[in-house]
Amino acid sequence: MPHVIVKLYPGRSEQQKIRLAEEIVKDVVAIAKCEEKSVSVAIEEIKPEDWAEKVYRLDILDNEQRLYKKPGYNPFD
């Protein structure tokens, strides 16, 4: 614990994904007051044409009560 999942469009380099994971781990350790060995980060690439149904609907609309930062867009508007 904790496990962080980042979903984003494809196109970032492996170096960018590694750096993103490293920075997330640093912040989680500092803010959640846990050991680095307890943190894991997964990155899932989602095609733009799949984003609305696979991410926005399932992870955002259907789970609004769990969101701590809501997006400023809605692909269904």
- Other CB atoms within a 10 A radius of the CB of residue 9 amount to 12
Amino acid at 53: E
| 2 labelled catalytic | yes
User: Annotated catalytic residue: which of 2, 48, 71, 75?
Assistant: 2
7 HSE (CA, 13 A, CB side): 13
- Residue 33 · residue 44 · CB < 8 Å: no
Q: Which residues are catalytic?
A: 2
